[in-house]
Amino acid sequence: MKTTLKWISNLMTWLLFVLLLVMVFLVISTKASGGEASLFGYQIKTVLSGSMEPEIKTGSIIAVAPAEDKTSFKKNDIITYVQEDGQLVTHRILEVLGNGEQVQYVTKGDNNKEADLTPVLSENVVAEYSGFTIPYIGYFTEYAKSQKGTAILLIVPGLLLLIYAGFQIWSALKVLDMNARKQLKNTEDS
């Protein structure tokens, strides 16, 4: 029983520590990259609309590869591009217009009835969808970007680790106190 409790205790310590490290990594990488985390050369983007459902669900995070040759995309590729208002959009290419350096892409969200009104200039393409998505985690990452979210995601795991460490110390002191009492009783009985 004691070995099981000790094993569970060690597991809890490591889990809390890993959680704290993951939260620190997410918050720092998100802040350092100007709002979007990056992992293994892929940018992590949050999808906040349902325009690409069912393939990409609202609230998902997706991994996108930064676009190197912005004129080489073809029909059915899914690209992320910057609109005139500065907002990022991830849609599927329906048609490629032009060639060489003068390329535009007609795009459409899979869940939209009509194609987007204006073609996307190749220089506005920032990335290509890699096919990797995790549903609903985007809500969490968006919250992590807020000041309140950043504070909570750094403080809560740290506090949990401190509380757990305090509990461990209290338990150890309790065992030491019991051992000291037993030893004192044994000395008195002798």
Per-residue pLDDT tens digits for 139-185: 777 777 777 877 777 787 778 778 888 888 888 888 888 888 888 78
Taking residue 65's Cβ as centre, other Cβ atoms within 10 Å add up to 14
For 112-131, what is each residue's pLDDT tens digit?
999 999 999 999 999 999 98
Instruction: Reply yes or no on whether the pLDDT at 135 is more than 90.
Output: no
Q: Is residue 94 part of a domain?
A: no
**Domain presence at residue 134:** no
- 43-83 pLDDT, tens per residue? 888 888 889 989 999 988 899 999 988 889 999 999 999 99
Marked catalytic residue, from 9, 49, 72, 190 = 49
Give the SS3 label for residue 131: strand
CA 21 – CA 164 distance, rounded (Å): 16
Residue 190 annotated among the catalytic residues of the structure = no
Largest pairwise CA distance in the chain: 100
Threshold 0.85, pTM exceeds: no
Q: How many CB atoms lie within 10 A of CB 142?
A: 16
Residue type, 170: W
Which pLDDT band, with edges at 50, 70 and 90, does 35 fall under? low
Instruction: Kindly tell me the burial class for residue 160, based on how many C-beta atoms sit within 10 Å of its own C-beta (0-12, 13-18, 19 or more).
Output: middle
Q: Report how many domains make up the chain.
A: 1
Residue 42 — pLDDT band, cuts 50, 70, 90?
Answer: confident
Residue 17, domain member (yes or no): yes
Domain membership of residue 18 as a residue range: 1-32+145-174
Whether 159 is covered by a domain: the verdict is: yes
Residue 42 maps to a domain: no
Percent of residues, the chain, with pLDDT higher than 90: 28
Residue 1 placed within a domain: yes
The pair of structure tokens assigned to 128 is 């290509």
Does a structural domain hold residue 16? Answer: yes
How many angstroms separate the CA atoms of 42 and 54, rounded? 22
**Quick check: is 13 in a domain?**
yes
